[in-house]
Amino acid sequence: MRTNVTRAVGWSVGVGVVSLGLVIVWAGPDAWTGVASIDLRWLVTAVLLTLTSWTLAGFRFVLLARRATANLPLHRGVRAHLVGLFASAASPGGAGGMPAAVLTMTRQGVEASSAWSIGLAATAADLAFIGWSTPVALLVLHSRGRLPNDPWIAPVAIAVSLVALTLAFVLLARQRWLAPLSSLVLRGPLQRYRDRATNFVTSLQQGQQRFSRSAWWWHLGFHGTVATAWWCLFLVLWGTARSLSISVPPLDVVAGLTLVQGIGAVVPTPGGSGTYELGASLLLVSQSGPRGVAAVVVVWRFLTFYLLFLLGPIVGAYDLARGAPRRP
């Protein structure tokens, strides 16, 4: 297990470094130099935006836990989110993020069925955000003349949007399809697990029904929380750029990284590494030229990605060491 994580981290760092190297070669020496000073006020702003994003993402777990009648304080929701981010950063395509967050919540005293319902609902909300925000980002960038001329970007982004919306719909409204699917798969030597799988799927459906019966204003607030968490995370690049005296409109940053996030969701590298470095670099170069772009991307990726390799294991080890709290 430790070897697999180390290998994934190595791949992630390696792909990111290669991507930055390509940017420096393409943009010239000014991509790394040309930064006269660092404005600590904007750097603090970038850090605060990172912390706000993590807090809101943890709060979405809290909102879902309340609907599932589970006890999950905000600080535990944030810890589950950080462990999930670390696992996502260390797994191909970010596939390990949701299971790691679910495992963390169970270690914090949440029933396994409720934790999985919460994890699936949070994943569906993230997919729904990618689904609706990606075409909006395309329209915003097109209207502002910022959309790259590459002909493949728009079709790929639209395809990603449709797939994300479909998966979100299945996870939110069609979990009953999982029961016949498990019965079809669990045959022969696997049949002994069928009853357990059926009970598990039933508990997931019960959790989904609690979420679907929520009032419209709850759904509006919940999805607003999810979107704001993502937007704060995207604006970290804007704050980092301003700290290095690079001016770029915040709307262009949010729209551009929304597009990068949608395309990066299908990239098989751990945590989408490489896609974000290249996408952010192209965005900054198109706005303000190559000066200091590589320095901005390094600081930005440290705050939003590589810092997770330090925090994730610490937070996860803390939950494992303290053990699951007793349930009433």
What pTM was estimated for this model as a whole? 0.85
Highest mean pLDDT: which range of 14-28, 251-265, 280-294: 251-265
Across 297-306, average pLDDT? 89
Q: How confident is the model at residue 64 (pLDDT cuts 50, 70, 90)?
A: very high
CB 210 within 8 A of CB 222: no
CB 95 within 8 A of CB 107: no
Highest mean pLDDT: which range of 57-61, 123-127, 143-147, 287-291: 57-61
Of 285, 260, 284, the closest CA to residue 273 belongs to: 260
Across 17-28, average pLDDT? 73
End-to-end alpha-carbon separation of the chain, Å? 33
Any idea which of 3-12, 74-83, 273-282 has the lowest mean pLDDT?
3-12
Q: Write phi, then psi, for 174 (nearest 5 degrees).
A: -130, 40
DSSP state of 37: -
Any idea which of 18-32, 41-55, 70-84, 153-167 has the lowest mean pLDDT?
18-32
Give the model's pLDDT for residue 251.
94
Of 35, 9, 10, the closest CA to residue 297 belongs to: 35
Give the model's pLDDT for residue 328.
44
CB 123 within 8 A of CB 204: no
How many angstroms separate the Cα of 98 from the Cα of each of 86, 88, 119, 206, 296? 10, 8, 6, 19, 29
> From the centroid of its chain, how far is CA 14?
20
Chain segment 176-202, per-residue pLDDT in tens: 556 565 555 555 565 555 555 555 566
Give the model's pLDDT for residue 221.
94
Of 84, 82, 113, 115, the closest CA to residue 100 belongs to: 84
CB 191 within 8 A of CB 165: no
How wide is the angle at C-alpha 96 spanned by C-alphas 49 and 207, nearest 5°?
Answer: 85
Alpha carbon distance 179, 282 (integer Å): 45
Residue with tokens 């990606």: 134
Alpha carbon distance 123, 287 (integer Å): 32
Q: What is the mean pLDDT of the chain?
A: 81
Highest mean pLDDT: which range of 58-62, 199-203, 303-307: 58-62
CB 264 within 8 A of CB 156: no
Residue 131 pLDDT exceeds 80: yes
How many angstroms separate the Cα of 289 from the Cα of each of 21, 216, 228, 277, 303? 17, 45, 29, 16, 23
Residue 66 pLDDT exceeds 80: yes
CB 129 within 8 A of CB 226: yes
Alpha carbon distance 93, 68 (integer Å): 28
CB 99 within 8 A of CB 86: no
DSSP E strand boundaries for 101-188: none
The secondary structure of the chain in percent helix, strand, coil, rounded to multiples of 5, reads 80, 0, 20
